Amino acid sequence: MANPYELRFEILKMAREYLQDQTSISEMHAEKAWDLALEEGNANMELYYNLRPIAYSVNDIKKKAEELYQFVEKK
């Protein structure tokens, strides 16, 4: 059984990995949308900036970790 510090570390790591996976998926979708816009001749800088996924922050990681920890706390 992990001690409380190891558990916190693992939950933070899981939260970061989850957010990184979500960002990667969003980037993939944005790239496909951009390629389609290029093919259709609708590509412009405004679209490019709107398609970019928002980068997650340390606070986002903490929020996701707290959400994951709530599951651990439940019996």
pTM: 0.84
Cα–Cα distance for residue pair 25/37, rounded to 1 Å: 18
Residues of 41-53 as b/e, b for ≥16 C-beta within 10 angstroms?
eebeeeeeeebee
Give the model confidence (pLDDT) of 28-65 as tens digits: 999 999 999 999 999 999 999 999 999 999 999 999 99
